[in-house]
Amino acid sequence: MFGKWPIRVKMFVGLGLLVLVVAILFGAGLYTSNAYRDLVRALRARGDELPVAAELSRDVSEARITVGRLHGLRVGDPTMQQGTGTNVQRCHQEFRGQLIEVERVLARYRGALEDGIRAGTRIADNRGEHETVREMEIVLGRIRQFDRDPRWPVDSNKVAHLEKELLRLQNLADHLPSFLHEKLGTLVPKVRPRYRTSIVGTWVAGASAVLILVLFVRLFYQWIFSPLNVLIGGSRRVASGEFEHRIALETDDEMGELAGAMNDMTARFRAIRDDLDHQVQERTRQVVRSEQLASVGFLAAGVAHEINNPLASIALCSESLESRVRGLLVEGSEEHEVISNYLGMIQSEAFRCKEITEKLLDFSRAGQARRQSADLGELVEGVIEMIGHLGKYQHKHIEFSAATTVIAPVQAQEIKQVVLNVLTNALDSVDDGGTVRVRLSRTEDAAELVFEDNGCGMEPDVLQHVFEPFFTRRRSGQGTGLGLSISYRIIAEHGGEIRAESPGAGQGATFRIRLPLATTHKEVQDRYQAA
């Protein structure tokens, strides 16, 4: 089931496992850290209460001392008549200041208790302190009620009652630290379970993280590394030359798709290699053919020059003998007919040999003519029109089609000779009523001429030698075998290519000619059309 999951899903699963491991470790550490933080905050918060509680107790004690000093003063003391400078008044003012200080310190203590609550402490329950503070505020309220009467310092009953209230306030202030002492005493029993829980939780989290990490490593190896090893091993075998090897994976994810693509690539590469081998063999044959044509070219120049003179002498001598025979023998006699036939045969064969030598000279001439931009369609149409007047091709059909005007830098006479050679070769291969189709088209960088016939066709061994000099398979038994060789040389000199194709004997043949176009084809074509 997992083998069909995409790698994206598998990576998300692995990432989820890693996130889970991190979350477990982070949660365990966070829990431990929070527990330690809560303990520290609790201790700090309760520690901050102690100085305030001590200060509060001291201030209440000073207020009691000040009130106690009023008992030493007599109500009828003359100093009471001395205005604000008397001892009673001075004690009263001092008591009021101390009472304000007690209220201020008590407010600070209440603020410290509220900070402890906001800190989230759980080991310090300060509800008892809050109750005590509320009682102290109630007592302070009653003391304030006494202080509103300006004559209470001279009233011994009120002074005694105020002392009781201050004693009550003193006892409450002294009792505040006892709550903290009790909490500190119970701190260890409360912390120990949390400490043990933290240790156990840390071990459980660590073990869970290790197990999940092992599971993640196993899945990652099974989903990623193992298929990669198979891919690498298979690619190395293919790289070493085992193009028949195919990579097999049991997964249907991207790795399996990659293995299929590599198998297709290997098959394609093998096909390309076979095609390249075929092209190399074809190019090798073309190079050998070119070397043969070059050798024949060098030989043809010398042979044609040496043979032309003897052939001219033979032709002249046969013509001279023929004229003399007419005067010596009776016309119509048997001897006259025999001698005339032999002399005519000598002349025709001499002229035939001369034609061959002329073709050899044409074959040996290379790159002497200047090339100019020409309309290939017009050249082909001119050759077709010329062939149409030949009697032996009157019963055969030529169909020409051009998709567009094609301008190419060529030597017009040489291209006409190529078209003539290929077209006559095609016409000679078809029977009366047969058809030769000629198509002219253009690609981005080349012009293409296709000659297609439904004639006798060619066997594979004929296709291999069709462009070799003096090789001919014409059904008439005539021909020098130089026409296609000369055409091959001319096309090669133009930087083009000529190829022969045939499915087999009796299935027709196709000749394809490709010629490079002018560099600025559009400008040349525009100038040609404007002219």
- pTM, two decimal places: 0.41
Segment holding 442, helix H or strand E: strand 435-442
Whole-angstrom distance, CA of residue 21 vs CA of residue 199:
18
Other beta carbons within 10 angstroms of residue 66's beta carbon come to 20
By C-alpha distance, which of 151, 146, 53, 67 is closest to 105?
53
- pLDDT score, position 299: 64
Q: What is the pLDDT of residue 452?
A: 92
Specify the fold of 280-365.
Helix Hairpins (1.10.287)
**Which residues on adjacent β-strands are paired with residue 515?**
447
pLDDT for residue 440: 92
**DSSP-based three-state secondary structure for 242:** coil
Q: What is the DSSP letter of 332?
A: T
CA–CA separation, 224 and 226 (whole Å): 6
pLDDT at 513: 93
Which residue type occupies 336? Answer: H
Q: Is 362 helix (H, G, I), strand (E, B) or coil?
A: helix
296/469 Cα distance (integer angstroms): 8
* Separation of alpha carbons 101 and 103, rounded Å: 5
Would you call 110 exposed, middle or buried from its count of C-beta atoms within 10 A (0-12, 13-18, 19+)?
A: middle
What does the pLDDT read at residue 444?
A: 81
Burial 369-382 (b: 16+ CB within 10 A, else e): eebebbbbbebbbe
Q: What SS3 state is found at 473?
A: coil
Is-contact 254 6, C-beta < 8 A? yes
Residue ranges per structural domain of the chain: 10-200, 280-365, 369-530
**Residue-level pLDDT, tens digit, the chain, 531 residues:** 555 666 666 666 667 777 777 777 777 677 776 766 666 666 666 666 778 788 888 888 888 888 887 766 544 444 444 433 467 778 878 888 888 888 888 888 888 777 655 444 444 567 777 888 889 888 888 888 877 877 777 777 887 888 888 888 888 888 877 776 776 666 666 667 766 777 777 778 778 878 878 887 787 777 777 887 888 888 888 888 787 888 887 777 777 777 878 888 888 888 888 888 887 777 776 666 666 666 666 666 666 666 766 777 787 787 777 777 766 766 667 777 778 788 788 877 777 777 777 666 665 555 555 778 888 989 999 888 888 777 777 788 899 998 888 888 888 888 888 888 888 888 888 888 888 999 999 888 899 999 999 888 888 888 877 887 766 766 555 556 677 888 888 888 888 899 899 888 888 899 999 999 864 444 444 444 443
Strand-pair partners of 499: 512
Distances (CA, A) of 233 to 236, 256, 259, 475: 5, 15, 11, 59
Alpha helices in 240-375, H assignment, sequence order: 254-328, 334-364
Query: For residue 509, with 0-12 CB atoms within 10 Å meaning exposed, 13-18 middle and 19 or more buried, which class applies?
Result: buried
The whole-angstrom separation of Cα 62 and Cα 326 is: 177
- The CATH number corresponding to 369-530 among 3.40.50.10860, 3.40.630.10, 3.40.190.10, 3.30.565.10 equals 3.30.565.10
- Report the percent of the chain where pLDDT is more than 90: 4
For helices 127-147 and 87-118, angle between their N-to-C axes, nearest 10 degrees:
160
SS3 19: helix
What angle in degrees, to the nearest 10, is found between the helix axes of 483-493 and 254-328?
A: 130
